[in-house]
């Protein structure tokens, strides 16, 4: 029912767009009609997918690196309390730098290949992963830790069976934020240099005033983000059904 | 009866505030002892020190003849809140105790199921904590505490968060379970009736800084039931505890 309603709304919006553009005699380079966009998308599908694959690989590489590094840093902060006062202010300062602004610098240092794009995706995704992982690993009722120790629990057992499990929903939430951020990093990286990826495709289409291709590329990206969001939702459905918030 | 817990001239200071000052008491093996006193008299702290989860500022605590200087072996605890792991179902929450001790949970599955039946949780083995009522969650916590057959069971107002009806029912259930397991129980409560009804001995603590003010032996016949509540001897003992408070 809810799905039918959403579909109806989308369909109505598309129809209004289609006929609005037609009625206003809007030139195609300003705002193409949906039918033109879909046609373009279909015609350029192989090219779209080729560039999307590059962007997807960059985004996922940056995201995975952010997950590994973010969790590792969170572990350091959780277990080595003296380092907490060193790492946290550094991180706050680092987060104050707009990462997008240093993208040109990354291209200067790392060239036009995949490296600066992955790095940018990684830098953007790192902060939410780190913050959520640190919270998930440490925000545990003190009573449960006491009880675990009383039962004879070692730090290692407590880590695997309490801390890490407690962090899983936090990490799932982190991915929901970090995934689109990593995608922004990849696309901005592709805007700045190189000749691969959806960012490059959009930029080159724009310079040819091929606005339908720009929109078709946006459609490709949307497909990718939907796939990512669905993957996270599937994970939550499979592994986080115990979350009370999901039941209400 | 050998002495299970011996507390001698216990003192605990928090931020220069004396919380416990010269508390001494003894608990015999297989004895059910209640610790009562006004809020803030250090009951919970005493329990944590006996468990070895907190260090005393001075004084000595011995459990099963050994000086306590870290989490006590073969002890288990039940808190006022159930503190279950929300991602584990009932059975798995009970087995958590075995996993923390480094035992294979499979070996304790049968015992866990027995305890689940004993506490009236059968049929709820595969529910998550949020699907259970407060009273049921607390029973899961009790099962978890009993899984490894602890010689010492520490209970910190375990029924404090429950409504009066459930609380009374759980009290009788605890008595029944204890009559089968016969562990030593140190039970913190601020309910005089609950203390007298369940225990062999009530230790009354003074307001902060806490120390033992009186020890009231309870020699009522077991098993005790609703009828016990009307027994003149019971009423008299309650009055004696109230007097001491």
CATH of the domain at A228: 1.10.3720.10
Which residues, listed in sequence order, are joined to residue B13 by a DSSP beta bridge?
Answer: B18
pLDDT at A248: 38
The total domain count for chain A is 1
Q: Does B100 touch chain A (CB under 8 A)?
A: yes
Count of A-B CB contacts under 8 Å: 64
B233 vs chain A: nearest CA distance in angstroms?
37
Q: Integer distance in angstroms from the first to the last C-alpha of chain B?
A: 28
Q: Do B85 and A144 touch (CB under 8 A)?
A: yes
Cα–Cα distances in angstroms (integers) from residue B12 to residues A119, B16, B79, B212, in the given order? 53, 10, 20, 14
DSSP letter (8 states) at residue A162: I
Half-sphere exposure (Cβ direction) of B84: Cα atoms closer than 13 Å: 30
Q: Do B85 and A150 touch (CB under 8 A)?
A: no
User: How far is A33 from A15, CA to CA, in rounded Å?
Assistant: 9
Each of the 248 residues of chain A gets a pLDDT tens digit; together they read 788 999 999 999 999 999 999 999 989 999 999 999 999 999 999 999 999 999 999 999 999 999 999 999 999 999 998 888 888 888 888 888 888 888 889 989 998 899 999 999 999 999 999 999 999 999 999 999 999 999 999 999 999 999 999 999 999 999 999 999 999 999 999 999 889 999 999 999 999 999 999 999 999 999 999 999 999 999 998 888 888 665 43
**Chain B residues closer than 8 Å to A170 by CB:** none
We find that the CATH architecture of domain B3-74+151-244 is 3-Layer(aba) Sandwich (3.40)
Q: Do B100 and A152 touch (CB under 8 A)?
A: yes
Q: Does B95 touch chain A (CB under 8 A)?
A: no
**Chain B residues closer than 8 Å to A165 by CB:** 85, 87
B48 vs chain A: nearest CA distance in angstroms?
9
Residue ranges per structural domain of chain B: 3-74+151-244, 82-149
Rg, chain A, Cα only:
22
Contact A200, A47 (CB under 8 A): no
B54 vs chain A: nearest CA distance in angstroms?
10
Tell whether A74 is covered by a domain: yes
Predicted TM-score of the model (pTM): 0.85
Tell whether A16 is covered by a domain: no
Q: Is B49 exposed, middle or buried (0-12, 13-18, 19+ CB in 10 A)?
A: buried
B232 vs chain A: nearest CA distance in angstroms?
39
Q: Integer distance in angstroms from the first to the last C-alpha of chain A?
A: 19
Please tell me whether residue B2 adopts helix, strand or coil conformation: coil
Helix axes B109-118, B90-101, angle to 10 degrees: 130
Residue in B with minimal Cα distance to A146 = B53
Residue A68's domain spans which residues? 36-247
The dihedrals phi and psi of B75, each to the nearest 5 degrees, come to -115, 155
Tell whether A6 is covered by a domain: no
Which residues, listed in sequence order, are joined to residue B10 by a DSSP beta bridge?
Answer: B23
User: How far is A152 from A158, CA to CA, in rounded Å?
Assistant: 10
pLDDT digit string, tens, across residues B162-221: 888 888 888 898 898 898 888 999 999 989 999 999 999 999 998 888 888 889 999 998
User: How far is B26 from A173, CA to CA, in rounded Å?
Assistant: 51
């Amino acid at each position: 029912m809810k799905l039918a309603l959403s579909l109806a709304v989308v369909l109505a919006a598309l129809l209004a767009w289609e006929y609005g553009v037609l009625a206003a005699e809007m030139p195609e380079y300003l705002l193409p009609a949906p039918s033109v966009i879909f046609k373009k998308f279909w015609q350029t599908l192989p090219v779209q997918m080729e560039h999307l694959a590059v962007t997807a690989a960059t985004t996922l590489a940056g995201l995975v690196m952010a997950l590994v590094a973010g969790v590792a840093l969170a572990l350091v902060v959780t277990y080595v309390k003296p380092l907490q006062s060193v790492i946290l202010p550094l991180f706050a300062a680092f987060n104050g730098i707009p990462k997008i602004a240093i993208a040109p610098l990354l291209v200067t240092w790392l060239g036009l290949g995949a490296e600066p794009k992955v790095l940018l995706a990684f830098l953007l995704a790192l902060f939410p992963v780190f913050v959520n992982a640190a919270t998930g690993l440490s925000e545990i009722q003190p009573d449960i830790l006491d009880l675990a120790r009383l039962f004879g629990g070692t730090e290692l057992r407590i880590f695997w069976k309490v801390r890490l499990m407690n962090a899983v929903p936090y990490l799932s939430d982190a991915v929901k934020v970090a995934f689109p951020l990593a995608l922004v990093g990849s696309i901005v990286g592709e805007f700045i240099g190189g000749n691969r990826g959806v960012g490059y495709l959009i930029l080159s289409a724009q310079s040819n005033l091929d606005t339908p291709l720009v929109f078709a590329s946006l459609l490709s990206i949307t497909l990718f983000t939907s796939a990512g969001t669905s993957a996270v939702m599937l994970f939550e459905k499979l592994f986080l059904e115990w979350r009370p918030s999901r039941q209400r | 009866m050998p002495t299970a817990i011996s507390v001698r001239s216990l003192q605990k200071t928090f931020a220069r505030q004396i919380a416990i000052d010269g508390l001494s008491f003894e608990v015999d093996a297989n004895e059910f002892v209640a610790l009562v006193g006004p809020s803030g008299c250090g009951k919970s702290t005493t329990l944590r020190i006996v468990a070895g989860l907190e260090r005393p500022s001075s004084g000595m605590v011995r459990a099963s003849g050994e000086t306590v200087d870290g989490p006590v072996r073969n002890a288990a605890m039940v808190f006022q809140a159930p503190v279950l792991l929300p991602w584990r179902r009932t059975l798995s929450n009970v087995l958590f105790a075995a996993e923390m001790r480094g035992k294979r949970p499979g070996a304790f599955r049968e015992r866990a199921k027995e305890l689940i039946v004993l506490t009236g949780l059968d049929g709820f083995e595969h529910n998550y904590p949020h699907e259970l009522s407060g009273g049921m969650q607390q029973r899961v916590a009790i099962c978890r505490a009993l899984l490894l057959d602890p010689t010492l069971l520490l209970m910190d107002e375990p029924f404090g968060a429950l409504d009066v009806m459930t609380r009374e029912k759980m009290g009788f259930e605890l008595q029944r379970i204890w009559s089968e397991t016969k562990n030593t129980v140190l039970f913190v409560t601020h309910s005089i009736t609950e203390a007298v009804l369940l225990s062999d001995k009530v230790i009354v603590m003074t307001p902060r800084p806490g120390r033992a003010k009186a020890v009231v032996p309870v020699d009522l016949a077991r098993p005790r039931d609703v009828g016990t509540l009307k027994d003149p001897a019971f009423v008299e003992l309650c009055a004696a505890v109230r007097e001491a408070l």
